[in-house]
């Protein structure tokens, strides 16, 4: 409360000084903008908005102040520390943060978010553990290359690919930008195992803030938990640097290469590296560290691309790419884009999620049961402690994994579990081998393609009921008459009305000086009555 009051007094002081003359106007506006962007609670932000609106009604004058952004202090904490980010569920989760020793706000840093594995764990990884992991993986690379590294913390209910976990990552970026100067066009996401799959999720579903993606021993198949995977979404030229290994029992490179080839054929810019005779481990990181450094150095985001294609089955959570937003799906027709897919042999799994935090040394504790799986059919329950599979004693997750590697399709299996201090014997049988689609397209989905030629925007849609185009002065300067053609028909032809609320809203949520929007164009399409509904059939 005390901090908010002091913050508000600063805003009021800035507003008072605004009357000092034209020469000081922009400086004062910059101070007000800085206060607005630094605000971490709704009440303080509301007061900051009022101060900004009193200071000026000129959207383009205010836009110039947002280009200047936050006035950063040079005397800030460097090295390792821990901060909190509040996700959309209202909970604060810590993240570990490294800032280079020679940090200078006049030379904005690149930012690398490193997502940890085992993200379905019930509790958060302690910040000290995240810091130690970050030190081991990245060593001196961040300090020697003007690179800020952040390690967010995820958990069950806040995984990298669910809405809460995704919002946690976004808020982590905002929290860092409130304190440190970050190059908006050099933000990257990486991670190992679930962190690698999370990196794929952001590339395929939520890529707007990022310049590039570095999945390590991850899989696009896991990224499907965040929504259907549409390979064409990678045609927007945000590059990926991907590493997998031959002996990884979870995501073997032989299988992952087939997916990567599919993504490349759909337009993805992907550099793919495979390491031989390495399992689900980061044993290659010493060789990869300098390559990842070079990838970060050479890669820069185009924040406002003039050609965009975007597909989604969930507009609420993944309807946006850059300045194009699909807000609602509907039966509006249009030509269905081609869906890329391939067949896989279904992986042999027991169908359980193991509690990675359990360290009893007397078994593998079941955290979740997959509905319809072998474990489900044989009567396994959440909380069971697996102590034996066939003739193999199970003391840990590693023992469980090794025992299951011996099993084949249609094999019988006997599992002994401890339940309520009693041993219970369960019997079951694995299913026959099946060919399945790599990507699930059974849910309804939509697509939008956008092309800009001078002041004309051509839009092609499939099953899009409403979309929004955010208008930036970098693409469409003040007083430009913008024309929008949707599926060949003129849907907008006018000068876009500047809206201070649009500028303020996206400036706060994006915190991105290279993506500022002074207005928007909303297009609604009529649903076609009497047509058979498309349920996402291939």
Rounded to two decimals, the pTM is 0.86
Per-residue confidence (pLDDT) for residue 7, from 0 to 100: 45
What gap in Å lies between CA 514 and CA 207, rounded to an integer? 15
Q: Which of 2-11, 247-256, 400-409, 493-502 has the lowest mean pLDDT?
A: 2-11
What is the residue-wise DSSP string for 228-256?
---GGGGGG---EEEEEETT-SSS-HHHH
Please give the domain boundaries of the chain with CATH numbers for all domains. Answer: 2-68 (no CATH), 79-302 (3.40.50.1820), 320-341+440-524 (no CATH), 352-433 (2.30.42.10)
3-state SS class at 407: coil
pLDDT score of 520 more than 80? yes
CA distances (Å), 516 to each of 63, 361, 468, 508, in order? Answer: 7, 54, 15, 10
pLDDT in tens, 109-147: 999 999 999 998 889 999 999 999 999 999 999 999 999
Is pLDDT larger for residue 170 or for residue 7?
170
Give the mean pLDDT of 407-416. 96
**172-209 pLDDT, tens per residue?**
999 999 999 999 999 999 999 999 999 999 999 999 99
Question: Above 90 in pLDDT, residue 529?
Answer: no
User: pLDDT by residue (tens digit) across 287-323?
Assistant: 999 999 999 999 999 999 999 999 999 999 999 999 9
What pLDDT shows up at residue 500? 97
Cα–Cα distance measured from residue 299 to residue 294, given in angstroms and rounded to the nearest whole number: 8
On the question of pLDDT at 160 being above 70, the answer is yes
- Name every residue whose Cβ is closer than 8 Å to that of residue 68 and which is 6 or more positions away in sequence: 26, 30, 33, 513
pLDDT tens for 446-481 read 999 999 999 999 999 999 999 999 999 999 999 999
Q: How confident is the model at residue 240 (pLDDT cuts 50, 70, 90)?
A: very high
Determine contact, residues 365/121, Cβ cutoff 8 Å: no
Quick one: pLDDT at residue 38? 94
Asked if 62 and 39 touch (Cβ cutoff 8 Å), the reply is no
């Amino acid at each position: 409360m005390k901090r908010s009051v002091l913050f508000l007094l600063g805003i009021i002081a800035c507003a008072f000084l605004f009357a000092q003359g034209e020469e000081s106007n922009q400086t004062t506006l910059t101070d007000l903008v800085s206060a607005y962007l630094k605000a971490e609670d709704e009440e303080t932000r509301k007061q900051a908005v009022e101060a900004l609106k009193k200071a000026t009604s000129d959207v383009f004058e205010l836009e110039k102040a947002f280009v200047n952004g936050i006035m950063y202090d040079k005397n800030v904490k460097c090295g390792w520390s821990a901060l909190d980010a509040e996700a959309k569920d209202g909970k604060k989760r810590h993240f570990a943060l490294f800032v280079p020793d020679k940090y200078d706000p006049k030379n904005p840093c690149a930012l690398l978010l490193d997502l940890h594995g085992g993200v379905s764990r019930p509790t958060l990884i302690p910040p000290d553990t995240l810091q130690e992991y970050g030190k081991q993986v990245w060593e001196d690379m961040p300090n020697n290359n003007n690179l800020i590294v952040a390690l967010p913390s995820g958990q069950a209910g806040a995984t990298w690919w669910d809405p809460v976990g995704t919002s946690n990552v976004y808020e982590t970026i905002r929290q860092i930008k409130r304190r440190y100067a970050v190059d908006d066009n050099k933000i990257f996401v990486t991670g190992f195992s679930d962190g690698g799959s999370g990196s794929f999720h952001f590339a395929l579903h939520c890529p707007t803030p990022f310049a590039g993606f570095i999945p390590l021993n991850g899989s696009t198949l896991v990224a499907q938990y965040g929504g259907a995977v549409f390979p064409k979404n990678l045609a927007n030229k945000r590059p990926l640097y991907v590493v997998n290994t031959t002996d990884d029992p979870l995501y073997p490179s032989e299988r992952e290469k087939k997916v990567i080839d599919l993504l490349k054929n759909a337009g993805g810019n992907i550099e793919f590296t495979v390491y031989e005779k390495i399992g689900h481990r980061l044993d290659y990181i010493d060789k990869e560290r300098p390559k990842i450094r070079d990838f970060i150095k050479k890669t820069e985001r185009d924040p406002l691309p003039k050609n965009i294609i975007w597909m989604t089955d969930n507009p609420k959570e993944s309807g946006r790419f850059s300045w194009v937003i699909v807000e609602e799906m509907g039966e509006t027709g249009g030509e269905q884009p081609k869906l890329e897919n391939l067949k896989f042999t279904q992986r042999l799994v027991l169908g359980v999620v193991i509690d990675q935090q359990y360290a009893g040394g007397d078994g593998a504790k079941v955290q979740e049961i997959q509905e319809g799986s072998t474990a489900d059919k044989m009567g396994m329950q959440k909380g069971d402690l697996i102590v034996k599979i066939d003739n193999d004693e199970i003391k840990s997750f590693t023992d469980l994994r090794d025992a299951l590697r011996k099993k084949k399709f249609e094999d019988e299996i006997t599992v002994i579990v401890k339940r309520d201090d009693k041993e219970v014997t369960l019997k079951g049988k694995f299913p026959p081998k099946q060919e399945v689609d790599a990507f699930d397209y059974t849910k309804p989905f939509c697509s939008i393609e956008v092309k800009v030629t001078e002041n004309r925007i051509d839009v092609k849609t499939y099953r899009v009921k409403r979309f929004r185009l955010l208008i930036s002065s970098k693409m469409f300067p003040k007083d430009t008459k913008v024309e929008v053609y949707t599926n060949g028909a003129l849907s907008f032809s006018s000068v876009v009305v500047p809206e201070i609320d649009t500028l303020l809203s996206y400036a706060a949520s994006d915190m991105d000086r290279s993506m500022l929007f002074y207005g928007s164009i909303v297009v609604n399409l009529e649903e076609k009555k009497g047509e058979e509904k498309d349920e996402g059939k291939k």
